[in-house]
Amino acid sequence: MQGQTKNAKWLLAAFAVCWPTVVSAQEAEPPPPSGDADYSSSGTGTFSMGTSADTGYSTSAESSAQAEAPPPPPPPPPPVAPMASEPMTQTAPPADDGRTDHQRVVGGTGVGLLSATELQTLLPGPDYTLVPLAVPVVGIRHWFDEGMGFQIGLGLNTSSGTLKSDIAGDADVDLPTVWGLALHGGLPFSLYSDTHYNLVLVPELNLGYATGRTKDDANLAGDQGVKHNAWLVGLALKIGAEVQFGMIDLPMLALQATVGAELNYRSATAEAAENGVIVTRRRWGLDASTASFNDPWDLFSSSIAALYYFQ
């Protein structure tokens, strides 16, 4: 018992000597620096890292910043190269396709002067002479194919006037007033065509009518008034050449010259006073000829045709 008491005293003496040294050592130990890594674990098993002592940036904050940063803008499109302007070039004329001028107008319609029809009116007098009245015919021609076509036209001519008297006391005299109308039809046939001309044969039918009157002459006694009418029914057969001006780049322009034969039935009447009595005179008949040229310029009115074709 004495031995155990003696040992306890020794332990108390040693603890009293060592305790101040331990306390002094704990007080002298510096606190852990704030830059040391702080590790903590939670009950959920997550792991977090503190601030880095080397960089001073938070790793978790940097990750959040990178996640929230917007994506970089797309690269700009490549520049468009300027288009090179094409040089101005002059359009070349169409190449010759080997067709004749007549073939170019097949299916088209020509418009122009076709012919002229001559009407003859009857005037009173000693011989009751016939007075010609030319009626130019304007119309169209259409080619169904290279060999056949048709043409039709209409003509109108009128004349009137007044004869002024220079004699004192005399009244002016009215000249006869005449109206002429003509209807023309034909069937042109192409017998042969070359580059710029076409040989044609044209059977024709011509119808015409003229009417008019002459008023009384106020300077003469009695009744001098005259009424007159004229009719025409004619057949013709003409042959000639239709020339088209493709040699000067005008293949649609055509000039035709023909000769031929005609057979016409004509009728003319005149109503006038003779010795105070109204008398009606009439002349009619058939005439046939290879040409009818009462004046030199009739060649151009009755035998020349001019047409311009439209496709």
Predicted confidence at residue 27, as pLDDT, reads 53
pLDDT at 308 over 50: yes
Is residue 228 a part of any domain in this protein? yes
Q: Is the distance from CB of 49 to CB of 61 less than 8 angstroms?
A: no
Where does the pLDDT of residue 122 fall: very low under 50, low under 70, confident under 90, or very high at 90 and above? confident
Structure token pair of residue 133: 């009245």
Is residue 194 a part of any domain in this protein? yes
Provide the residue type at 152 as one letter: I
Where does the pLDDT of residue 49 fall: very low under 50, low under 70, confident under 90, or very high at 90 and above? very low
Per-chain mean pLDDT for the chain: 75
Is residue 85 a part of any domain in this protein? no
Predicted confidence at residue 35, as pLDDT, reads 46
Q: What are the start-end ranges of the E strands in the chain?
A: 40-41, 47-48, 109-122, 130-143, 149-159, 162-163, 173-174, 177-186, 189-193, 197-214, 226-245, 250-274, 277-289, 304-310
Of residues 123 and 95, more confidence is placed in 123
Predicted confidence at residue 280, as pLDDT, reads 83
17's CB contacts (< 8 A; 6+ apart) are none
Predicted confidence at residue 153, as pLDDT, reads 96
Where does the pLDDT of residue 127 fall: very low under 50, low under 70, confident under 90, or very high at 90 and above? confident
pLDDT digits 0-9 by tens, 184-242: 999 999 999 889 989 999 999 999 999 988 776 555 555 556 788 999 999 999 999 99
* Cα–Cα distance for residue pair 100/243, rounded to 1 Å: 11
SS3 of residue 222 by DSSP: coil
Q: Is the distance from CB of 200 to CB of 188 less than 8 angstroms?
A: yes
Nearest in space to 180 (alpha carbons), one of 205, 206, 212: 212
Indicate the number of domains in the chain.
Answer: 1
Q: What is the dihedral of CA 135, 176, 270, 301, to 10 degrees?
A: -20
SS3 of residue 299 by DSSP: helix
Is residue 107 a part of any domain in this protein? yes
Nearest in space to 159 (alpha carbons), one of 228, 205, 216, 113: 228
Predicted confidence at residue 54, as pLDDT, reads 45
Predicted confidence at residue 225, as pLDDT, reads 64
SS3 of residue 128 by DSSP: coil
Give the global pTM: 0.62
Q: Name the least confident of 26-35, 40-49, 158-167, 215-224.
A: 40-49
Is residue 32 a part of any domain in this protein? no
pLDDT digits 0-9 by tens, 23-38: 455 555 555 554 444 4
Q: What value does the mean pLDDT take over residues 95-111?
A: 85
φ/ψ (deg, to 5) at 300? -80, -25
Of residues 251 and 23, more confidence is placed in 251
Is residue 77 a part of any domain in this protein? no
Is residue 71 a part of any domain in this protein? no
Of residues 161 and 223, more confidence is placed in 161
What range does the domain containing 143 cover?
101-310
pLDDT at 55 over 50: no
* Cα–Cα distance for residue pair 18/177, rounded to 1 Å: 167
Where does the pLDDT of residue 18 fall: very low under 50, low under 70, confident under 90, or very high at 90 and above? low
pLDDT at 181 over 60: yes
Predicted confidence at residue 254, as pLDDT, reads 93
Is residue 183 a part of any domain in this protein? yes
CATH of the domain at 105: 2.40.160
